Structure 1
């Protein structure tokens, strides 16, 4: 059990982590670091945090620091934190991109007390009101650059995530960002684009509401995600996102060509090939 855990960014991920720690008895008290008064008040109302402090004060009293803020803000915040911590503290982040952050903190003396993680879970909702205590159950958590962190720190973080019901995957930061572009980032771009397509072509919002079925809802669900979170992810992982986006556009062109040329055989072939995803996603 930690005497104090500081959560920097008490939103969907940070709030869920705090609730899960409380549920499992890992923390005697939880301190939140906020940049908005409304978020702070909501976190108190929901019982997610026990107190709120400015960053410097919160870091000075923490045994474990968990950083769950947009990835563009994460880098300067982490650099500040890395210059403040001691060998008795552990810092963990939950960002969706890893390479830029790992490079940014590589030369800090306390780099060994940092464990780079990405719990592979999220929803289209944001803020502390979206947090739940069992969010991580059954999900994967990626740990990057394990060899650059103290084994004792890694073991503690592994044990926490496992206690929350996650299984651990180890990757280099660069490999993580490539895979995340394919399994997460492209899904969000596609959803945003599809939502914009429908909103552009279908001016009657009532018609969308009346006719939208489960397939449409599940496909555009991610378009409700926070731009403040996802725009920095796309930009920070720009090269990998562009690579997968180019492939996606190529696939869309194949479907377009089938319809233009009335080539039902190739259309059928494209869809049959897509069905192979059943081997990966049950």
Structure 2
């Protein structure tokens, strides 16, 4: 199996590691805008060879793991090049604009829109992690538009990598993911910003930071080059989630200002219900 990965960073590199581990006969080719990334990926044995877009006609599988604004053009170009039996999979966290962009492509049947919900705050080839996708949910959109035999190939790969599959339309995906992923990153970035601004005057603040702060602000270490296009492509849903979040923050602030700590307690106690939901997921 010839697997071409476009974008050899955390997601693309981790995919390469897991394909190598589960499909020993697979040969992995890397395509990246950065020659340094390609060279490093080869040093780390994430890929076997460097390649170019023109080589995609030889591919059995193409896995696209680039920022979502770049993916709009990259996937169309990949579909221009592929052979009749080539499967093209993307891993981006927005789906509506992408699915619209390729909807009329003559090779639309070769494309599977996917979003493995996994990752870390790190980026680049060095961030590649074995078993990153194991026991993680992989959302697939518009599966009916992908050729059946290529669906089967994709599901075999996802199964070997240990992913759980959910099917969803692109609009629902973008709406739901704005709440459980995109808002979390915004919240983390802004918490980090708030503390950094205060730290200018209070040098001891980071000495006092414990595991709670570290875990809450962890996502603020994520790549702005990846997340800015996500917020742009999912702008309407992100704004909806932010409005709700800001409203709750304002309400909580008002309770503290008014000295209503009984209701502060009640608000937090009601929110404790999320433990039941998250325990069910885990």
Shift in alpha-carbon separation, 1:257–1:205, aligned structure 2, 3 A: closer
Match of 2:79 in 1: 82
Deviation, 1:152, is: 1.4
Q: Identify unmatched segments of 5+ residues in structure 2.
A: none
Deviation, 1:269, is: 1.4
Of the three residues 233, 236, 244, the one matched with 1:236 is 233
Match of 1:221 in 2: 218
* Cα shift readout 1:224-280 (whole Å, capped 9, x = no counterpart): 000000000000000000000100000100110011101111111110111110121
Shift in alpha-carbon separation, 1:251–1:92, aligned structure 2, 3 A: same
| Separation of aligned partners in 1, 2:158 and 2:81 | 25
Given that 1:144 and 1:172 are in contact with CA atoms closer than 8 Å, whether structure 2 keeps it comes out as: yes
* Residue 115 of structure 1 pairs with residue 112 of structure 2: yes
Match of 2:11 in 1: 13
Q: Identify unmatched segments of 5+ residues in structure 1.
A: none
SS at match of 1:92: strand
| Separation of aligned partners in 2, 1:156 and 1:205 | 56
Shift in alpha-carbon separation, 1:217–1:170, aligned structure 2, 3 A: same
Given that 1:120 and 1:141 are in contact with CA atoms closer than 8 Å, whether structure 2 keeps it comes out as: yes
| Separation of aligned partners in 2, 1:17 and 1:51 | 15
Given that 1:86 and 1:110 are in contact with CA atoms closer than 8 Å, whether structure 2 keeps it comes out as: no
Deviation, 1:7, is: 0.1
CA RMSD of aligned residues (A): 1.2
Deviation, 1:162, is: 1.4
* Cα shift readout 1:40-65 (whole Å, capped 9, x = no counterpart): 121011100011122222x1221110
Of the three residues 136, 154, 160, the one matched with 2:157 is 160
Moved more, 23-32 or 260-269: 23-32
Moved more, 204-213 or 237-246: 204-213
Of the three residues 9, 23, 26, the one matched with 1:25 is 23
* Residue 246 of structure 1 pairs with residue 243 of structure 2: yes
Given that 1:5 and 1:27 are in contact with CA atoms closer than 8 Å, whether structure 2 keeps it comes out as: no
Superposition TM-score, scaled by structure 2 size: 0.96
Given that 1:71 and 1:96 are in contact with CA atoms closer than 8 Å, whether structure 2 keeps it comes out as: yes
Moved more, 25-34 or 227-236: 25-34
Given that 2:63 and 2:89 are in contact with CA atoms closer than 8 Å, whether structure 1 keeps it comes out as: yes
Match of 1:34 in 2: 32
Deviation, 1:20, is: 0.2
Give matches, 1:57-136, under 5 Å. 57=55, 59-136=56-133
SS at match of 2:109: helix
SS at match of 1:280: helix
Deviation, 1:131, is: 0.5
| Separation of aligned partners in 2, 1:67 and 1:17 | 10
* Cα shift readout 1:9-50 (whole Å, capped 9, x = no counterpart): 010000000100000026531110011122112101110001
Deviation, 1:86, is: 2.5
* Residue 144 of structure 1 pairs with residue 148 of structure 2: no
Shift in alpha-carbon separation, 1:260–1:93, aligned structure 2, 3 A: same
Given that 1:20 and 1:133 are in contact with CA atoms closer than 8 Å, whether structure 2 keeps it comes out as: yes
Match of 2:42 in 1: 44
* Cα shift readout 1:184-238 (whole Å, capped 9, x = no counterpart): 0000000001000011112168523311101000000000000000000000000
Superposition TM-score, scaled by structure 1 size: 0.96
* Cα shift readout 1:61-93 (whole Å, capped 9, x = no counterpart): 211100000000000111111222222111000
How many residues end up aligned between the 2 structures? 279
